[in-house]
Structure 1
Amino acid sequence: MSILPHPQAARINCDGCGLWEGEWKLAEGKIKKLVTDKGFGFIQGDRGDLFFHLSALQNSQFETLEVGQSVTYEEEEGPKGPRATAVEIIE
């Protein structure tokens, strides 16, 4: 889990979750679908499914991704709706 003060991250306010009030936690999800011949996929996140492009990957190659892998990501508004950026595999 990455903790960053980033405007795209979700603000945490919880009891007993291991984070201090006001800390930032990147969103987490799982790879739901990959369209390998087109270089994009979808992440199943807390707020629904998000598109991501292979250029959003931070620490791996698109060809090594598998459906069901856990990831962290940032979210931004793209031309066709919300999309994931800064996608990192959780190892």
Structure 2
Amino acid sequence: MRLCRRVPGSLGVLVPTSTNEVHVPTGKVKWFDTERGFGFIAGDDGGEVFLHASALPADAAAPKPGARVEFGVADGRRGPQALAVKLLDPAPSVVKAKRRSADEMAVIVEDLIKELDGIGNGLRRGRYPDKNKSTMVAKVLRVVADEIEG
């Protein structure tokens, strides 16, 4: 049973064969090169579909590999080409995949609190921490914030 048919004179646009059933292709972004403005989608049906930047939503950032998408398909000169791509969910976060356990973070946060408490005591006495200590604490704060935010 064919799910789609070609519309004559429409540059290969595929439409559903049945008005009762609409099949919208889905898949995952294999890769996308922002400099060149294109990439490929691995369709859930096993096919590979060309993805041009013009098919992406105007307000969307470049899709990351693994991002789930929904798209229309047209026959391009070199094969299937995605149209009107909709990002279904963001790509898996590398940060979340490498995230420390809650137990590890608890120890780090407790150590950071001790450092900040010492800095607070010095500030009450009118002394800022030296450059090395303030740089180190600022870096740790950024890392902890990123870990917590995920």
TM over 0.5: yes
Distance in 2, Cα, partners of 1:10 & 1:28: 15
For the 8 Å contact 1:72–1:90, the answer to whether it is kept is yes
Aligned-residue Cα RMSD (Å) equals 2.4
Given the superposition, is the C-alpha separation of residues 8 and 56 from structure 1 closer, same or farther in structure 2, using an over 3 Å criterion?
A: same
Larger helix proportion of the pair: 2
What whole-Å deviation, never above 9, does each CA across 1:31-51 have from its counterpart, x for those lacking one? 011122101010000141110
Q: 1:55 is matched with which residue?
A: 54
Normalising by the residue count of structure 1, what TM-score does the alignment of the two structures yield? 0.69
Q: Percent identity?
A: 35
Larger strand proportion of the pair: 1
Given the superposition, is the C-alpha separation of residues 9 and 29 from structure 1 closer, same or farther in structure 2, using an over 3 Å criterion?
A: farther
Given the superposition, is the C-alpha separation of residues 37 and 31 from structure 1 closer, same or farther in structure 2, using an over 3 Å criterion?
A: same
Q: 1:8 is matched with which residue?
A: 14
For the 8 Å contact 1:9–1:74, the answer to whether it is kept is no
Distance in 1, Cα, partners of 2:14 & 2:86: 15
For the 8 Å contact 1:39–1:62, the answer to whether it is kept is no
Larger deviation, residues 24-33 vs 54-63: 54-63
Q: Does residue 86 in structure 1 map to residue 92 in structure 2?
A: no
- 1:84: how far off? 0.8
State the secondary structure of the residue aligned to 2:54.
Answer: helix
Structure 1 unaligned regions, length at least 5: 1-6, 13-20
Letter in 2 for 1:84: A
